[in-house]
Every structure is written in structure tokens, then in C-alpha cells.
Amino acid sequence: MVFKEFGDKHLKLLVLLHGGGLSWWNYRESVESLKNDFHVIIPILDGHAGSDRHFFSIEQNAEELVSFIKESFNGSVCMICGLSLGGQILLEMLSHDGDICQHALVESAMAYSSKITNALIRPAFGCSYPLIKKKWFAKMQFKQLRIKPELFDDYYRDTCLISKKDMIAFLQASASYQLKDAVKNCCADVHIFYGEKENRGIKKSAKIISNSFPMSALTELPEMYHGEFSINNPKEYAETVKSIACSTKY
């Protein structure tokens, strides 16, 4: 796995897990506000532009990151944040090792499988994948994602670099992911965020995740769509991360 690092290595460690189809630039603006207070590490998830291997599963990504933290940082970090696919990987990490971090921020993550969505992914991308490198098609998709316009060049460049096999693999993994019962043994301070304008699946998942962590905090973000918190509101997101990381639970 490839890692991007920012900030002084002697500061508290913050790990940011980007969303599916995105990359480390998902958090680039937030990092500018965070790197003076944290040593920030952003892994490039398997199968994404800039990664060093194909995507196999959410579980494999989680296991690799848990091993990395155990080997490099004595088994625990201050905080881990994850968006969408990154949020699912974070949840899987917490099910593997409930002490892997002191604080966790899960944003817009699905926590139960959708057989219909999973079944539609392969035929849908079999037809549309050749269009991905067409800029007009990419702009249309980008607009539907509601990501701010200044990130289009990053999005288009990296989307063109993701193979069809990897894109189908991580989309199907995300659609079929189910929250593990083992997360109930987690000791972390968990915060769940989702947008008011998100689909029913994400809203339902947020409640499932919250119920699995009895002491967790659940926050609905007014007027926000999927991923808008960390991607489109980096300063607000960074301030939230700082506030949680400095909380007195630990």
C-alpha cells in the first residue's frame, strides 16, 4: 500500500481513508488545516490511481492497515477517519482491533449489503466503462457526485487510471459489505456523520453503525449530499477532526 504523509512525525497520528474512486486529494485541503497539529497519513487504497496493487477486498485493506499501525506505531493511533469505502475499511479495522485508534470518524458508509446494487454493477460498468475516459462523460458523472468544480482535474485524471477490474471490484465490495458483530468490542470514541440529502441506504446504515457502538455520536449534516462534508467543506471538517481528537474521553 502507498502512503502520503504530512506534518511533523512527532505529532499525534491521524489516518485519513479516502472514498471509492477518489484518492488522497479527497482530503488535500483539510490536510492544510491539520498538518500543524497532526502527523497525517493518507493511504492510497488498493485498486486506485497511484496504488501498488489491485483491489481484492475491504477486509484485506483493513488487515493491511491494522498490520501497518501495529508494526509502525505500536498498535494504536490517535484518530482514523474514513469516507464511504474508506469508512467501511475503518469499520472493518475496528472489528479486527477495537484499540487500533482512540477516536474514529465514519462518514457516509454503507453497513449492510444490497444484492440488487451488487448484481447491477458488473453489467452497468461493462457498458459504461469505455466512456469513462471521455471528458464529457466524466463531467456528467462528476456533476452527479456534487464534488466542487476545482477538483474535476484530479477526479478525471485518477478515474482514467483505475482499471475496469478494480472499479468493479471495489464497487461490488462496497455494495456487499456488512458490519461485523465484532465492532461491539471496540473501545474507540466513534463519531458517525451522514448528509441530510443522502440516500436511504446511507441513512439506515448510519443508524446501524450508531447502534453497534452504544457510546457513539450520530450527526446528520443539514443540506449535505454524499461525501460533501470532507470533500466540499474541508475547513469545517478539519475543525471537527481537531475537536474530536482533543476530546477528553482519553
Domains of the chain by residue range: 2-112+179-245
Q: How confident is the model at residue 249 (pLDDT cuts 50, 70, 90)?
A: low
8 A C-beta contact, residue 156 and residue 135: yes
- Give the count of alpha carbons within 13 A of 202, CB side only: 23
Which of these CATH numbers, 3.30.830.10, 3.40.50.2000, 3.40.50.1820, 3.40.50.300, describes 2-112+179-245? 3.40.50.1820
Average per-residue pLDDT in the chain?
92
Amino acid code (one letter) for 168: I
pLDDT tens profile 99-157: 999 999 999 999 998 777 767 777 777 777 788 889 998 898 899 899 999 999 999 99
Q: Are 79 and 100 in contact (CB under 8 A)?
A: no
Give Cα 125 to chain centroid, integer Å.
Answer: 22
**Of 168, 172, 166, 181, which Cα lies nearest the Cα of 213?**
181
How far is residue 235 from each of residues 32, 203, 230, measured CA to CA in Å?
9, 24, 9
Check residue 248 and give its pLDDT.
63
Which residues, 6+ apart, have CB-to-CB distance to 151 below 8 Å?
25, 231
The pTM assigned to this predicted structure is: 0.94
* Cβ pair 123, 190 in contact under 8 A: no
